Amino acid sequence: MPYDTSFSPTPRPARRRRSLLAAAALGCVCLIAGCGGGSGGGAAAQPREGGGGTSSPPSLSPSPAKGGPSARATSVPPSSSKSASRTVSGPLSGKTVVIDPGHNPRNHEHTREIGRQVDIGTTHKECDTTGTSTDSGYAEAEFTLDVAHRLRALLQAQGAEVVLTYDNDRPYGPCVDERARIGNRAGADAVVSVHADGSAVGNRGFHVILPALVHGGAADTSKIVEPSRELGTRIAGLFVRATGSAPSNYVGGNTGLDTRKDLGGLNLSTVPKVFIECGNMRDPKDAALLTSAGWRQKAAQGIADGISSYLRG
């Protein structure tokens, strides 16, 4: 059955039409604002916080991620909620989006700190993990920062206020509970945590992780399950359109969607939030995409299109 890139989450024709119109409008914005600036081109198996890889990435310097813009994002300490004032007006003016680049390039230098347990409501988990990497040594944390930078530029060009949970401005983390708090304190209209998976060779494709209905301790997702599903569904459909990638052949039954209750970043969120695993770094074919700057621009565009479609209704 062909994959439905319109991805209408509910049988409401009017809403679906608005979604498609929003996607078309986004293309116009990008033509005017020049927000498609790439070079063109192209885990769940391990219950870790947004990444299934078990091997440590190579040593990385704390310099900005490859392929990202030269300007750094405003750093967002836990007590802060908003990014620097923007001057661009557009279809997303008045909306706040939090981008959460998974892991940290220097987590592997701080295994004791990231290994400490934090409360995720239903249980305790590690503060963070190192993430995975390609066989050639391209780290997931470097990938996620690069895509986050590209995504930020696309959203800001449409007038959104964009907050990054971190921008290579701290030695490790943030911990998963802090990542959730940053989105909550920002009063975000949408939060997307960017990742890449570390599964077996032959496992290919992307999947979007949605929050399950969880109620325990500090976790209560009852108010965000439905809006998060709509956000994730729109991102999945428009990610296919922008990248040409297929949904995961090993998670989610070829729907590109997976629901989990073991991720603190989702359990502790009080605003609509999803994770996206953009591909499998351990598969050579997926790795070739993930290491391509042109494909990363397409990935950022697909995520931005999904966010815009969701926020514009």
Amino acid (1-letter code) at residue 260: R
Is residue 7 included in any domain, yes or no?
no
- Burial call 70-92: b when 16+ CB within 10 Å, e when fewer: eeebeebeeeebebeebeeebbb
Residue 29 lies in a domain: yes
pLDDT of amino acid 61: 32
Of residues 72 and 259, more confidently modeled: 259
Instruction: Kindly report whether the global pTM for this prediction surpasses the value 0.85.
Output: no
Contact 135, 282 (CB under 8 A): yes
Q: Which residue among 142, 161, 230, 277 is the active-site one? A: 277
pLDDT at 45: 39
Summarised one tens digit per residue, pLDDT across range 133-149 is: 999 999 999 999 999 99
pLDDT at residue number 278: 98
Q: Is residue 3 assigned to a domain?
A: no
Does residue 97 belong to any structural domain of this protein?
yes
Other Cβ atoms closer than 10 A to 47: 11
Query: Is residue 307 scored above 50 in pLDDT?
Result: yes
Return the pLDDT at 86: 52
SS3 string of the chain?
Answer: CCCCCCCCCCCCHHHHHHHHHHHHHHHHHHHHHCCCCCCCCCCCCCCCCCCCCCCCCCCCCCCCCCCCCCCCCCCCCCCCCCCCCCCCCCCCCCCEEEEEECCCCCHHHCHHHHHCEEECCCCEEECCCCCCECCCCCEHHHHHHHHHHHHHHHHHCCCCEEEECCCCCCCCCCCHHHHHHHHHHCCCCEEEEEEEECCCCCCCCEEEEEECCCEECCEECCCCHHHHHHHHHHHHHHHHHHHCCCECCCCCCCCCEEEECCCHHHHCCCCCEEEEEEEECCCHHHHHHHCCHHHHHHHHHHHHHHHHHHHHC
Q: Which of 37-46, 119-128, 152-161 has the lowest mean pLDDT?
A: 37-46
Residue 113 pLDDT exceeds 70: yes
Poorest-pLDDT segment among 63-77, 276-290, 296-310: 63-77
Instruction: Evaluate whether residue 170 is within a structural domain.
Output: yes
Residues in the chain: 313
Q: Does 161 participate in catalysis according to the annotation? A: no
pLDDT of residue 131 exceeding 60, the answer is: yes
Q: And the tokens for 208?
A: 């979007």
Question: What is the reported pLDDT for 88?
Answer: 83
φ/ψ of residue 279, rounded to 5:
170, 180
Token pair for residue 167? 């921008």
Q: Kindly state the average pLDDT of the residues 279-283.
A: 98
Q: What is the mean pLDDT of the chain?
A: 81
Contact indicator for 51, 132 with CB cutoff of 8 Å = yes
What is the bridge-based pairing of β-strands 117-119 and 219-220? unpaired
- In order of 13, 74, 126, 144, 232, the CA distances from 149 in angstroms are 34, 12, 26, 9, 20
Residues 6+ apart with CB under 8 A from 268: 120, 121, 176, 177, 180, 181, 184, 218, 219
Which structure tokens are listed for 298?
Answer: 């397409």
Domain that holds residue 163: 14-58+66-78+88-312
Instruction: Let me know if residue 9 belongs to a domain.
Output: no
- Residue 66 and residue 294: Cα distance in Å, rounded? 12
Asked if residue 8 is part of any domain, the answer here is no
Average pLDDT for residues 286-312, to the nearest whole number?
98
In a domain, 305, yes or no: yes
Number of structural domains found in the chain: 1
Query: The CATH number of the domain where 155 resides is what?
Result: 3.40.630.40
pLDDT value at 25 more than 70? no
